[in-house]
Structure 1
Amino acid sequence: MPIDFFAEHNRSSYASRTADLDWCRWLKQRVNPQGKVIVDLGCGGGIYSRVFLGMGAQQVIGIDSSPVMLKEAEATTPSDRVHWQLGDVTDTGLADETADLLFLRAVIHHLTDLAPILAECRRILKTGGTLLIQDRTPEDCLLPAEPHHLRGYIMSYCSELQKIEIARRHHREDVSHAMNIAGWSEIKSETLWETRCTYNTLDELEKEILNRTGRSILHDLSDVELLSLTQKIHQEYTTQGILTNIPDRDRWTVWTGTKVGS
């Protein structure tokens, strides 16, 4: 069954990971967080909110619909420059023109209709501010398996997961079109490889898979299916002699837009 973001046992699933340093450099080249008010919509356990704080944001507002996730975010982020708020990403309750930057990572694939969230983002963003959406397209999810691309093995071994991903992911051009209809300007999209983490050993990788840590798609597998998947991945990596220092990289698509006018 799908992941329950409100369950206590999933509290740390989206809080313990550290953001990729290359991703941080990529962000700073495009939208420097220094001195900005940033709204992290669908912040989960606050992984990227912490990045913004570390890069000198004036204030970060993390919004999520799960009190369990926010509880973990608050516990792991001691700072008077961050405010955690329970709320709906399409109806935040924030004042008009609150933010300099709006960040949505791994959010839009949970939404069928993008119009409400794009309208809410325009409302709470300052004129001249930037919207940054990071998510996967169907094409990103179905890339061939490679030693650094664990998701590729997961998808190639589980045809049912492929169907789920294709059904819930938005195509690149569809997101750009929705942004255009919603009144965003200077719309751009690009692909980005992000290192999720590097596993010290194959055993460590297998443990994370079996725990479904930070991978909501694995919650759609039964325990038996998950064990079978883990055994296949173990065989694949062992055959290739990949037993230590295993990078886990994913390809994402990133859309940016600017608010021009009211």
Structure 2
Amino acid sequence: MSRVYDDERLAGVYQGGNEMPDASLRDWVHLIGSFAGRSSPAVVEIGAGTGMFCSAMARWLAPSGVVGVDASLPMLTQAQRLNSHPAVHYLAGTAEAVPTRSDLFDLAVLSRVIHHLPDRVRVARELARILKPGGVTVIRTTFRERLDARVYDYWPRLRELDEQRFPSQPEVLEDFAAAGFTARTVTSFARPVTASLRDYHARMRSQPQSKFTQLTVAEFREGLRRLQSDAQDEPTTCPVPVTERYDIAVLSSS
């Protein structure tokens, strides 16, 4: 996983810059949980970050337990501070070496992290180890061929960079197949992340995603200026929610 996540500044702004309304987060959790195939699943999130999904799954899935794994100690510090829950346990570890015993989880979640993992076959083999037979991995990402985030409207060079960083759907499915996974379904799902473009501008000011570190100061400021201009033009009486769409790949272990 990219060591940019060891940046304490990024860890400090990540939650505020990536959170979503409760209704949207609940919808995501219910969708992801629907693939578990059983009630009260044991869940692991790889690349848990500040623990937003971990605590949400604990709240709305009634799991037997949730383990959040991340390589970044600053992120885990924020997770303990912002998203502690009696059913959630956070661990320092990597996707290639998860610090738990084998055959433990029903459901593994990788949300917006697969592009940080260069050795996907090794990651898939590790997931196969920690999942119970028939366990499920849910990958939440945007595949290279469908990069359509709102952020690219204001920082188009980020799309060019992400076309180099993000894997394609066939690449991910092939790598997981090499580790014994079977693709059950690939779909997409979209939900609002902010109530208005003004709110979206306010969160982007903090550069809350690692991709912004690839831009120059001038590039970031120019994109933010254009976003601010559009936000100011938005009618205050009828703001339009900003929606983010993600691809969902669901894979079953043997």
- Shorter-normalised TM-score: what interval? 0.7 to 0.9
Q: Which runs of 4+ in 1 moved over 6 A?
A: none
- 1:207 equivalenced with 2:212 (yes/no): no
Q: 1:233 offset after TM fit, Å? A: 2.0
Cα contact 2:188–2:248 (8 A) shared by 1: yes
Q: 1:208 offset after TM fit, Å? A: 1.7
Q: Cα distance 1:240–1:73, how it changes in 2: closer, same or farther (>3 A)?
A: closer
The aligned counterpart of 1:69 is 75
- Counterpart amino acid of residue 7 in structure 1: D
Q: Cα distance 1:75–1:177, how it changes in 2: closer, same or farther (>3 A)?
A: same
Structure 1, unpaired ranges of 5+: 144-148
Q: Cα distance 1:248–1:221, how it changes in 2: closer, same or farther (>3 A)?
A: same
SS at match of 1:118: helix
Which stretch shifts more, 176-185 or 229-238?
Answer: 229-238
The aligned counterpart of 1:236 is 230
Cα contact 2:138–2:251 (8 A) shared by 1: yes
- Counterpart amino acid of residue 121 in structure 1: L
The aligned counterpart of 1:187 is 184
The aligned counterpart of 2:166 is 169
Q: 1:237 offset after TM fit, Å? A: 4.4
Q: 1:190 offset after TM fit, Å? A: 1.3
The aligned counterpart of 1:38 is 43
Q: Cα distance 1:25–1:80, how it changes in 2: closer, same or farther (>3 A)?
A: closer
- 1:140 equivalenced with 2:123 (yes/no): no
The aligned counterpart of 2:29 is 24
Cα contact 1:99–1:129 (8 A) shared by 2: yes
Cα contact 2:182–2:252 (8 A) shared by 1: yes
The aligned counterpart of 1:113 is 119
- Counterpart amino acid of residue 48 in structure 1: F
SS at match of 1:45: coil
- Counterpart amino acid of residue 193 in structure 2: R
Cα contact 1:198–1:245 (8 A) shared by 2: yes
SS at match of 2:125: helix
Cα contact 2:143–2:168 (8 A) shared by 1: yes
Structure 2, unpaired ranges of 5+: none
Q: 1:102 offset after TM fit, Å? A: 0.5
Q: 1:242 offset after TM fit, Å? A: 6.9
Q: 1:175 offset after TM fit, Å? A: 1.1
- Counterpart amino acid of residue 150 in structure 1: R
Cα contact 1:176–1:187 (8 A) shared by 2: no
Q: 1:32 offset after TM fit, Å? A: 6.5
Residues 19-62 of structure 1: per-residue CA shift (max 9 Å, x gap): 62332332344337741110111000001001110021111110
Decide which structure has greater helix share: 2
- Counterpart amino acid of residue 137 in structure 2: L
The aligned counterpart of 1:12 is 12
SS at match of 1:249: strand
Q: Normalization by structure 1: what TM-score?
A: 0.84
Cα contact 1:62–1:84 (8 A) shared by 2: yes
Q: 1:107 offset after TM fit, Å? A: 1.2
Cα contact 2:110–2:138 (8 A) shared by 1: yes
SS at match of 2:14: coil
**Which whole-Å CA distance do the structure 1 matches of 2:82 and 2:183 have between them?**
36
- 1:197 equivalenced with 2:178 (yes/no): no
**Which whole-Å CA distance do the structure 1 matches of 2:114 and 2:83 have between them?**
25
Note the aligned Cα RMSD (angstroms). Answer: 2.4
Cα contact 2:36–2:106 (8 A) shared by 1: no
- Counterpart amino acid of residue 151 in structure 1: V
Identity value in percent? 19
SS at match of 2:128: helix
